[in-house]
Structure 1
Amino acid sequence: MSLITPTPTIKQSDRPPASRVRLDSLTGLRWYAALLVACFHFAYEEASTGTSLHVFRLKEIVYAGPSAVSFFFILSGFVLAWSARPRDTVTGFWRRRFARIYPSHLATFCVAVLTMVWMGKELDPRIALANLGLLQSWVPNRKDWWFGYNGVSWSLSCEFLFYLSFPFVVKLVRRFSHRGLWATVVVGNLGVILAPLYMKSIERAADLDPKFLLYVFPPTRLMEFVIGIAVALLVKNGAWRGPGLTASLALAVLVVLGPTHVMPFDFHWAADTVIPYTLTIAAAARADALGEPSPFRNRINVYLGEVSFAFYLVHEIVIFSLDHFLKSHHLKVPLTLHLGLFLAVSFVGAVLVHEYVEKPGVKLLTRSRKKSRPITV
């Protein structure tokens, strides 16, 4: 069978009802991925200041935190391919994606600037411009550029490339047969798993920081995005064959708590977890499409997932602000109270950004378009 034979679709009568096609389980899962990242950053920052042994234990539990970004990248490709509009324009797609992420990015950037001024940190206008232009992840060997201002926005630099390339990539991938889509998923997963090995020679030859080439460099992370696109087309056309949600989720939890602790550090950015994350995303979407049970589809989980993007953007600002406040006032609090305070403040900040920046921004920047919105996650 040719790899570019048009992908057959399942019969309309075999499709689940339209009301069942909302991918609420994926929305709910977003929250737990964002929470994993946030707890990792909290534990990492506290551990680096020499705090108690309990912090190190927390860090061990959330050691795979950076891999959650890989989950977001696969999910991004999946959701965009799943919800793509048949007669959409390239500029229309780009406009909606800009409206979806940039107002929140700009707002949290401004908060980060105010926070840095309050803490007496130096402001570099070059890094600021790169951050505002979502270009910071293209600069080799400069962690101060990647993670400057609101450090977590480095991943938006990758998403920016994904959005620019999506209309062209999905047009190509849609031509693949089911076998071609499966080949894309398998080769993509192998590419991510083996990347820490085959990129070592490039790192040495070009004198590049491994974290640049494997973690923050947008073209490298494009593999995960394309995996998501291919998986979405397989699930959407009834051609996905994989374990159910319970088994996939159990595998993901097992890998996050197990192998990531014994594998080399550069493997836990994506290589350790790409397979279980791929399986979990596919299984959750399929469960929603078929109306199968899912623990992530309830109202609370869905709302948490809806604010997860804002939570991701604000949480590191809260970590540094809270640390600065406590240290400047010579306050020491137990780890549980500190963690609880961090999560509570981050959540309140996320709700404010989501309700008063993200949602109004989308409405303002897309209001001239017809209100035929795709399924969002």
Structure 2
Amino acid sequence: MAARGSTVNVGAPARLRGLTSLRFFAACVVVLHHLPLAMPALASVLLVAKAGYVGVTFFFVLSGFVLAYGWTGATSAREFYARRIARVYPVHALTAIAVLLMLLRGGVDWGALPVNLALLQAWSPEPAVYLSFVGAAWSLSCEVFFYACFPLLFGLLARCVHHTRWVIALVTGAAALGASFASFSSSLGEYLYHLPLFRMVDFSVGILLGMAMRRGWRVSVRPIPAAALVVTCYLLVTMAQVLGRANASWSWLFSLSMVLPFGLLIASVAGHEIDGGRSILVSRVPVLLGLWSFALYMVHGVVLAAVEAHVRDLHGAAAVVVGVAIVALAITASWLLYALYERPVESALRRRWIRSSPAEQGAAAQGASSPGAVARDSAGWSVQS
């Protein structure tokens, strides 16, 4: 890594479209990781997706990065929290209700419903609670905690002089702390994976990198080598999990090991775009897919729950063909969810809850470029298996 300059970069594009596109690939890894839950015959075919849950780590780091890079200090706490609620809650509520309706015939764990709807489920050590209804929503529970802490956390981390050194220190400290806790019991190791307080490390790393880039820092690694490093680290994690037959109690460690590679990729792609570089990631189709990624992340569990009874016993080529069709169906459903529900509902809530200042209205009319616009437009679902 190399540093260049120390001033805040105010010439950033209004949308970091490359980061938006990356979200789709992370969401797809999570989808492929979950597909064998509905179609066990695909477990061997999708062995490479066995560690796909680490895609959530990418979203946590990305969330911290875009919020920190776009934070201006002029945003009120009310506006910040209103934007975040409008961003994540409508889709969460809709998908949870959809799964609830499907579960009515077979029985519903009503005790988990209030915790789930309040997005507090990730704090529970019980799988029946933190994976209730839409299992992937546990990451939103973490995100809500991150959002609640962000203004204070940003103020604390802003005092750090050497942001990249603190990144290394945070990950190293989390590894030592996690190993200490996990040594007591395997269930405690499994709990760390979805515990919001522990996953705050991923989010904090993103904040530190976003702050560093605001001050003019750039990573010296180009996007393609950074992506190659991510793929290599991911394959090593997958091999370690498969060959070592690691169970869920090690998920926290495998996820933590991807924080630095993901952070490097995010900083590299963002810096390349900020400095005027071109990439296929900023083209129309990848960006559109990225915009659908939150919907894909949330709706794919609903799709799998709906088709599981009909596809569970498929094997061979039929399982592969149907598996491809299910992924295509989930992507199509994410497009419809984004276009017909997520985007219009979020916009309506923001208009209702947030009153833009004259200066903000003028900037929006002119298409002004500012770091704050990045947080509003590119933070996306910031989330988040």
Q: TM-score, normalised by structure 1?
A: 0.86
What's the counterpart of residue 22 of structure 1? Answer: 15
Distance 1:366 1:59 in 2: 40
> Closer, same or farther in 2 for the Cα pair 1:269/1:126, shift >3 Å?
farther
What's the counterpart of residue 190 of structure 1? Answer: 172
Aligned to 1:243, the other structure's residue is in SS state coil
What's the counterpart of residue 5 of structure 1? Answer: none
Distance 1:237 1:255 in 2: 29
Distance 1:192 1:305 in 2: 30
What's the counterpart of residue 34 of structure 2? Answer: 41
Distance 2:298 2:179 in 1: 31
> Closer, same or farther in 2 for the Cα pair 1:123/1:259, shift >3 Å?
closer
Deviates more, 1:65-74 or 1:231-240: 231-240
| Residue of structure 1 aligned with 2:189, choices 210, 214, 219 | 210
1:86-97 matched pairs, under 5 angstroms: 86-97=73-84
1:44-63 matched pairs, under 5 angstroms: 44-47=37-40, 51=41, 55-63=42-50
Distance 1:196 1:339 in 2: 36
Aligned to 1:57, the other structure's residue is in SS state coil
Aligned to 2:7, the other structure's residue is in SS state coil
Displacement of 1:195 after TM fit?
4.8
> Closer, same or farther in 2 for the Cα pair 1:284/1:195, shift >3 Å?
farther
What's the counterpart of residue 3 of structure 1? Answer: none
What's the counterpart of residue 360 of structure 1? Answer: 344
Distance 1:354 1:163 in 2: 22
1:53-202 matched pairs, under 5 angstroms: 55-117=42-104, 120-140=105-125, 142-177=126-161, 179=162, 181-201=163-183
What's the counterpart of residue 288 of structure 2? Answer: 303
What's the counterpart of residue 381 of structure 2? Answer: none
> Closer, same or farther in 2 for the Cα pair 1:318/1:269, shift >3 Å?
farther
C-alpha contact 1:77 1:225 (8 A) present in aligned 2: yes
C-alpha contact 1:16 1:290 (8 A) present in aligned 2: no
| Residue of structure 2 aligned with 1:278, choices 263, 270, 282 | 263
Displacement of 1:86 after TM fit?
2.9
Distance 1:103 1:70 in 2: 23
Are residues 1:318 and 2:303 paired? Answer: yes
What's the counterpart of residue 243 of structure 1? Answer: 221
The Cα offsets for residues 171-203 of structure 1, whole Å up to 9 and x where unpaired, read as 2222322x1x123211122234445422224x4
Are residues 1:351 and 2:335 paired? Answer: yes
Displacement of 1:36 after TM fit?
0.1
The Cα offsets for residues 323-343 of structure 1, whole Å up to 9 and x where unpaired, read as 22346xx87771322222211
Distance 2:292 2:304 in 1: 18
Distance 2:176 2:323 in 1: 35
Q: TM-score, normalised by structure 2?
A: 0.85
The Cα offsets for residues 132-184 of structure 1, whole Å up to 9 and x where unpaired, read as 000111112x101011111110111000100000011112222322x1x1232
C-alpha contact 1:37 1:65 (8 A) present in aligned 2: yes
Displacement of 1:354 after TM fit?
1.1
Displacement of 1:21 after TM fit?
5.0
> Closer, same or farther in 2 for the Cα pair 1:42/1:115, shift >3 Å?
same
Distance 1:167 1:196 in 2: 26
> Closer, same or farther in 2 for the Cα pair 1:295/1:198, shift >3 Å?
farther
What's the counterpart of residue 4 of structure 1? Answer: none
Distance 2:288 2:174 in 1: 31
> Closer, same or farther in 2 for the Cα pair 1:303/1:159, shift >3 Å?
same
> Closer, same or farther in 2 for the Cα pair 1:68/1:170, shift >3 Å?
same
1:95 maps to a residue whose letter is A
Runs of at least 5 residues in structure 2 that lack an aligned partner in the other structure: 365-371, 379-385
Runs of at least 5 residues in structure 1 that lack an aligned partner in the other structure: 1-7
Aligned to 1:369, the other structure's residue is in SS state coil
The Cα offsets for residues 31-50 of structure 1, whole Å up to 9 and x where unpaired, read as 00000000010034423xxx
> Closer, same or farther in 2 for the Cα pair 1:220/1:273, shift >3 Å?
same
C-alpha contact 2:39 2:311 (8 A) present in aligned 1: no
> Closer, same or farther in 2 for the Cα pair 1:188/1:176, shift >3 Å?
same
Seq. identity, %: 28
What's the counterpart of residue 10 of structure 1? Answer: 7
C-alpha contact 2:237 2:254 (8 A) present in aligned 1: no
Distance 1:365 1:340 in 2: 35
What's the counterpart of residue 336 of structure 1? Answer: 320
Distance 1:275 1:193 in 2: 12
Displacement of 1:75 after TM fit?
0.5
What is the Cα-based RMSD across aligned positions, in Å?
2.2
1:27 maps to a residue whose letter is T
